[in-house]
Amino acid sequence: MRILVTGAKGQLGSDLVKELEKRGIEAIGVDMQEMDITSASQCREIIEKEHNSSALEAVIHCAAYTAVDKAEDEPELVRSVNADGTENIAVICRDLDIKMLYISTDYVFDGEGTRPWEPDDKRNPLNVYGQMKYEGELAVEKNLEKYFIVRISWVFGLKGNNFVKTMLSLAQSRDELRIVNDQTGSPTYTPDLSVLLASMVVTDKYGRYHATNEGLCTWYEFAEEIFKQAGIKDIKLIPVTSQEFITKAKRPHNSRMDKSKLDKNGFKRLPSWQDALKRYLDEYMKGQY
């Protein structure tokens, strides 16, 4: 079995390639240097070449523009990557009759209320990043029948920047941090997510899914647990509201995600986010980051 993974050098893509290979699946990892997803012709050339040499089972599309605040200043660039780039891949998957698994985000919702978002709820993005990921979802749904859309949130993993690394870094130079305490969601650890995605993509249980580690927290509570598990005691955390901590891109207050569709389709849920954080910190302390 052969599966092509976009964004293979990124936080999720790198872990996903490892997980697929661990299962004896040939993972063809491509990143910007190998395949510019904004170029329809280049996408077609690369994917068709791989498919013709030995048939591809699926494309897992992890590549994305993810700088949420910066996205507000360059919406057309974000659209070219997250919406048009996704459509480029979806069209080729349709033409070659290949499954597609698209990684999306809780940011396609407006974050109102307290009810967990269900996969088929109405989408109403708050910011440019969310809008373009939403348009990416529409491109997948318009062009394909054999697709998975998997929405994730609050991602942290072995590569790249994330909230955990930021907190640990700031703790080295600050003795006080102001952390937002009115946005609720679930962290997602990329090695755990990779296990689920590798299990899902080989099935025909298509549709929209939500996948995060189990349990809820605010960013403030996430930070508290990071410092508790890391044994860092000489830092003061101050809970603040979103209004007190202004960011260029508006963030959803409610990122609770309903994951019962995983259960209905026989997929194993991810471990608790606290357990995931412990395993992450174990690796971090080994200096492997």
pLDDT in tens, 227-247: 999 999 999 999 999 999 989
Instruction: Give the C-alpha distances (Å, rounded to integers) separating 99 from 27, 102, 201, 264.
Output: 14, 10, 8, 21
Average pLDDT on 57-62 reads 98
The encoded tokens of residue 113 equal 């209320």
Average pLDDT on 50-56 reads 94
Residue-wise pLDDT for 1-45, tens only, equals 999 999 999 999 999 999 999 999 999 999 999 999 999 999 999
Residue-wise pLDDT for 112-121, tens only, equals 999 999 999 9
Residue 282 has pLDDT above 90, yes or no: yes
Residues constituting the chain = 289
Single-letter amino acid, residue 116: P
Average pLDDT on 219-224 reads 98
Domain 2-161+189-213+256-270 matching CATH 3.40.50.800: the answer reads no
Is residue 129 part of the annotated active site? The answer reads: yes
Single-letter amino acid, residue 245: F
pLDDT tier at 223, thresholds 50, 70, 90 = very high
Residue 194 has pLDDT above 50, yes or no: yes
Share of the chain above pLDDT 70, in %: 99
Long-range contacts of 222-230 (CB under 8 A, 24+ apart): 222/154, 222/163, 222/187, 222/273, 223/163, 223/167, 223/177, 223/179, 225/274, 225/277, 226/164, 226/167, 226/168, 226/277, 226/281, 227/167, 227/171, 229/274, 229/277, 229/278, 229/281, 230/168, 230/171, 230/281
pLDDT tier at 284, thresholds 50, 70, 90 = confident
Residue-wise pLDDT for 143-155, tens only, equals 999 999 999 999 9
Average pLDDT on 74-84 reads 98
CA dihedral for 180, 186, 191, 193, sign (positive or negative): negative
Q: Is 149 helix (H, G, I), strand (E, B) or coil?
A: strand
The encoded tokens of residue 260 equal 């019962």
In which element (H, E) is residue 184 found?
strand 184-185
CB 51 within 8 A of CB 96: yes
pLDDT at residue 249 in the model: 94
pLDDT at residue 59 in the model: 98
φ, ψ at 31 (rounded to 5°): -130, -170
Average pLDDT on 184-210 reads 98
Residue-wise pLDDT for 244-267, tens only, equals 998 999 999 999 999 999 999 999
Within 13 Å, how many C-alpha atoms sit on residue 235's CB side? 22
- Dist CA 193 CA 270 (whole Å): 7
pLDDT at residue 127 in the model: 97
CB atoms within 10 A of CB 152: 24
- Dist CA 92 CA 133 (whole Å): 19
- What are the residue ranges spanned by the domains of the chain? 2-161+189-213+256-270
- Among 129, 134, 189, 209, the active-site one is 129
Instruction: Note the pTM of the prediction, 2 decimals.
Output: 0.96
Residue 157 has pLDDT above 90, yes or no: yes
Residue 123 has pLDDT above 60, yes or no: yes
Instruction: Give the C-alpha distances (Å, rounded to integers) separating 74 from 37, 70, 79, 81, 145.
Output: 17, 7, 9, 11, 31
